[in-house]
Structure 1
Amino acid sequence: MTQVVALMLAAGFGRRFGSDKRRAVLADGRTLLAASLERARAVFEEVLLVLRADDDPAALGLPADSVIVRCVDAEQGMGHSLAAGARCLDGHPAAACAVLLGDMPWIADASLRALVDKAAPGRIVFPLYRGERGHPVLFGRDFWPELQRLTGDEGARKVLRAHPAAWTAVEVDDPGVLGDVDSPAALGGER
């Protein structure tokens, strides 16, 4: 299996949620962020978690051994968070990085493994569920320099749009690849 490092973005402010959704508690007692991190760790050997400069990992319910990347300009948008994480990949031997969101705890392990199986340095791999593109998106190392320069609140869309020939879609039977939590009502549980 191609080595893939995971970058989990969790430095956002989730203003639509009404409070810090990363701390929202799921039915099983875990925080939303801790559940998302646990799901990623089940598949990826290495998960880098991008947080705000002043975040307290313990207050977010995270394990003490979490690898934290601090984003000092997180308030400027997701592009800044992704760039902060991507800059930490300089010199990393992985062929690709999986960009995961900290509010998506219901992605099936099988979906993540299917994406990893398609990862390569020159590919951008993403899941498709019933024709809709989901998360995570895996960026081959050829695209890391572009990720490192991202700004604003558009995330990686700019990189995706610039390289359609590199796209590799993986069909999955997993609504979890679309299931982010944007409101308290979305906390309902496993999909």
Structure 2
Amino acid sequence: MHKIGAIILAAGMSKRMGEPKLLLSIHGKPLFLYVLGPVVESSLDPIILVAGKYIEEIQQHTMDFLEIQIIFNQNYAAGMSTSLKLGIQSIKEQVDAVIIFLADQPLVSRTVIQSLMENYEASRKEGIRIVRPEYQGELGHPVLMDAELFNEFHTIEGDSGGHSIIKKYKHVMKIVSFDNPMWGADVDTPDDFMKMKQYFDSKPNEE
């Protein structure tokens, strides 16, 4: 078994939302907290959460999550790439692979996480270095990336995230399909948030 860690990206500026979206409440809980449960339950280690402007609020809400290491990205305004670089730098010597999560994806499923891990274990000998989910045909997050690709993160800039790396190495990427599009839904706008709240109201017990 390979050692797989997690990076949770939680340093965004929420420009399209107009307020700190990760702290918006759904059923009495900040949106980003819904991501942490499935990550912790999936036995990923270490778990690095990269925070920015709202690190103090995030720390207050995560005091019970002793498994999670929170690090501050002082360059958060320069885009997602700075958080990815910081996360990779913090984890690269400890793992064989990492799963990269978006903190604004509250319905991320443990089923997806376990499937990414299992497909990586089964396919790495065949040369697979990236495992990515698709939800009803649309590629999404979280994304598993092998440690062999970590040096590539030095080249990314702005808010592009790891898209350029994924594009470059798509020949060693395995795609895993899921039927529930909400598992991959993120929250960027007020409309997204309203739709997410409506979904939670209709299926309050869904993990």
Normalized against structure 1, the TM-score is what?
A: 0.89
> Aligned Cα RMSD in Å?
2.0
**Structure 1 contact 14–21 (Cα < 8 Å) conserved:** yes
| Alpha-carbon spacing, 1:13–1:87, altered in 2? closer, same or farther (3 Å) | same
Computing the radius of gyration from Cα coordinates, the structure with the larger value is 2
Task: Verify: 1:185 aligned to 2:202, yes or no.
Answer: no
- Structure 1 stretch displaced more, 66-75 or 153-162: 66-75
1:9-48 aligned at under 5 Å gives the runs: 9-27=9-27, 29-46=28-45, 47-48=47-48
CA distance in 2, matches of 1:42, 1:49: 15
**Structure 1 contact 106–177 (Cα < 8 Å) conserved:** yes
| Identical aligned residues as a percent | 25
Q: Where does residue 175 of structure 2 map in the other structure?
A: 169
**Structure 1 contact 22–32 (Cα < 8 Å) conserved:** yes
- Structure 1 stretch displaced more, 63-72 or 83-92: 63-72
Q: Where does residue 139 of structure 1 map in the other structure?
A: 145
Q: Secondary structure at the match of 2:187?
A: coil
CA distance in 1, matches of 2:32, 2:60: 7
Structure 2 stretches lacking a partner, 5+ long: none
CA distance in 2, matches of 1:34, 1:169: 27
- Structure 1 stretch displaced more, 165-174 or 147-156: 147-156
1:14-163 aligned at under 5 Å gives the runs: 14-27=14-27, 29-46=28-45, 47-52=47-52, 55-57=55-57, 61-64=61-64, 65=66, 66-92=68-94, 94-119=95-120, 120=124, 123-163=129-169
| Alpha-carbon spacing, 1:61–1:158, altered in 2? closer, same or farther (3 Å) | same
| Alpha-carbon spacing, 1:54–1:149, altered in 2? closer, same or farther (3 Å) | farther
| Alpha-carbon spacing, 1:59–1:83, altered in 2? closer, same or farther (3 Å) | closer
Q: Secondary structure at the match of 2:164?
A: helix
**Structure 1 contact 136–177 (Cα < 8 Å) conserved:** no
Alignment length (residue pairs): 189
Normalized against structure 2, the TM-score is what?
A: 0.83
Q: Secondary structure at the match of 2:25?
A: coil
CA distance in 2, matches of 1:88, 1:59: 18
| Alpha-carbon spacing, 1:173–1:63, altered in 2? closer, same or farther (3 Å) | farther
Q: CA deviation at 1:172?
A: 1.7
Bigger share in helix? 2
CA distance in 2, matches of 1:104, 1:148: 25
Q: Once superposed, which parts of structure 1, at least 4 consecutive aligned residues long, lie more than 6 Å away?
A: none
Q: Secondary structure at the match of 1:9?
A: strand
